[in-house]
Amino acid sequence: MLDFYLIIHFLFAVIQFLIGVLANGIIVVVNGMELIKQRKMIPLNLLLSCLAISRICLQSIIFYINLIVLSLLDFPPLVKNFVIFMFVNEVGLWLATWLGVFYCAKIAPIAHPLFFWLKMRISKLVPWLIIGSLLFASIPFAVYSKHTWALSQEVLLRFFSPNATTQIKETSALQIVFLARFSVPFVIFLISTLLLMFSLGRHTWQMRNTAMGTRDGSTGVHVSALLSILSFLVLYLSHYMTAALLSSDIFKLRSLMFLFCILVFGSYPSGHSIILISGNPKLKQNAKKFFLHGQCCQ
């Protein structure tokens, strides 16, 4: 019998899962229809589609973990599939990082030769960045499969079987290695996002001073872009920090803080996709059509 707060957590997990799958599904369907009609896909839409697919997978795995935490599913299958979760999560982090770099290169008004070179070539680099992300995320699981299995088994046994004892060596060192790997895309994303926010903020301030206090349409667009980037940064930070907290094993299973961290961790793949849809006119228009069509069919 589930406690009341576990039932509330389950309801939030279901809502989070449905929102995440729906939002990311809209991105995939809209860009897929464009690919079918035009027989090609622009680099940004390709990056968004790959990111949305990875987030659908991640959201499904997070919901699966929620079911195991609430004892609605058995524990053993999770150990076998935890490596897949780590792979999907890392791929998603890399794709989100490249999305931040793409926006920074295309939008930020930074006058520097290296930045200008990146602005001219970032679109052509997108397919290679996607392939590189898949390969980079696959390396530790292909080369160090034995150690990866040992680490995932150790972490999961500590969470779900507190009384179990394991004979796995160098677990702490492996945890540091994997945390360091996740830190690489985080640092790249942080630098590109802060550069974009700083340049847009300075540009918006200059435009307001030039307009002598009058509200300009382009100024409103820049402010909206700043708010979207800031929310993206907050969600990315919360995802990374809760992942670090959960892997540190400082919260007991089914404690309020443990469940809260899982919800915060899962809010990133769903929340940021909603932000992407609201900031993209084509995606926003198609999302409205979808909901209006759903209401008409009722």
pLDDT in tens, 70-121: 876 665 555 556 777 888 888 999 999 999 899 888 887 777 788 888 888 8
- Which of the pair, 271 or 76, is modelled with greater confidence? 271
Q: Which two tokens stand for residue 168?
A: 């796995």
Cα–Cα distance measured from residue 266 to residue 63, given in angstroms and rounded to the nearest whole number: 8
- pTM for this entry: 0.83
pLDDT per residue over 181-201, tens digit each? 778 888 898 898 888 888 877
218-235: average pLDDT = 72
Closest CA to 240 of 96, 137, 67: 96
Closest CA to 93 of 41, 121, 122, 133: 133
- Which of the pair, 209 or 5, is modelled with greater confidence? 5
Which range, 29-33, 67-71, 104-108, is most confident? 29-33
pLDDT tier, 157 (very low <50, low <70, confident <90, very high otherwise): low
Q: Residue 264: how many CB atoms within 10 A of its CB?
A: 18
248-269: average pLDDT = 83
SS3 string, 98-116, reads HHHHHHHHHHCCCCCHHHH
The whole-number pLDDT of residue 17 equals 94
pLDDT tier, 165 (very low <50, low <70, confident <90, very high otherwise): very low
The whole-number pLDDT of residue 129 equals 94
In the chain, % of residues over pLDDT 90: 19
> Is residue 296 scored above 60 in pLDDT?
no
- Which of the pair, 89 or 216, is modelled with greater confidence? 89
Domain boundaries, the chain: 4-297
Q: Residue 216: how many CB atoms within 10 A of its CB?
A: 13
Q: Which two tokens stand for residue 47?
A: 């990056």
CATH for the stretch 4-297: 1.20.1070.10
> Is residue 46 scored above 90 in pLDDT?
yes
Cα–Cα distance measured from residue 1 to residue 233, given in angstroms and rounded to the nearest whole number: 39
Place of tokens 């404690």: 255
148-158: average pLDDT = 57
DSSP-derived letter for residue 165 is: -
How open is the CA angle 18-157-70, to the nearest 5 degrees? 35
Q: How far from 29 is each of 21, 41, 52, 54, 131, CA to CA, in Å?
A: 12, 13, 10, 14, 21
Cα–Cα distance measured from residue 3 to residue 15, given in angstroms and rounded to the nearest whole number: 19
Residues, the chain, total?
A: 298
Cα–Cα distance measured from residue 48 to residue 77, given in angstroms and rounded to the nearest whole number: 31
264 in Cβ contact with 238 (< 8 Å): yes
Q: Which two tokens stand for residue 167?
A: 């004979």
